[in-house]
Amino acid sequence: MKKLFFDIETLPADESKFEMLKRIYEKKKKKLSPFGQKIGTFEDFIESTGLDGTFGRIFCISYAINDGPISCLAGNEVEIIKKFWEKAQDIDLFVGFNILDFDLRFLYQRSIILGIKPSRNLPFSRYRSEPIFDVMYEWSKWSTQNKVSLDSLAQVLGIPSSKKELEGSKVYEYYKKGKYSEIRAYCNADVEVLRRIYKRMMFEK
């Protein structure tokens, strides 16, 4: 079986989208204000787009096939996504952490927006472990009340954590400082931790 272990790192919308996002922000703010709900600042709104493929973008994708070396796709977002779908063509099992709710969803959304046809039409069906094995859900046995983080799971299993100086919430901060190599290294480390956790769950050596 050919398994693809992968993780993506994302960024908020780039400045070319700010004018459009400003209109969306103001409309949302106007809609919520009569009910006393706070939406936060425009800067907060921009940062939140890093979690939504509708506006955010992919900075890099790290992956490994079976026990092979970890590689990182980085640079132009269009090329990153094209190369990912090329790699995905003959994969039997896609393994990741929270990939149903985040990574794969984000990838499909960006593919549509950028006009890149995915090489695979993966089913987002729940309660199954093929062709998508979501470690987060498989660990909780599909309970939405007992979700665990990758870092916590690694620590429980005695696997060195990838969350040291850098973690997901700090990626944009590192990006603004030009620390691109650190982000790529962090993404690679996540894939290695992911692969080790998967093997423990499958009782593999």
Facing residues of 3 across strands?
A: 93
pLDDT tens, the chain, 205 aa long: 999 999 999 999 999 999 999 999 988 888 776 655 677 889 999 999 999 999 999 999 999 999 999 999 999 999 999 999 999 999 999 999 999 999 999 999 999 999 999 999 999 999 999 999 999 999 999 988 888 999 999 999 999 877 777 777 889 999 999 999 999 999 999 999 999 999 999 999 6
CB atoms within 10 A of CB 182: 16
Which domains occur in the chain, in start order?
3-201 (3.30.420.10)
Euclidean distance between CA atoms 91 and 58, whole angstroms = 21
The secondary structure of 135-167 as a DSSP string is HHHHHHTT-SSS---HHHHHHHTTPPPS-SS--
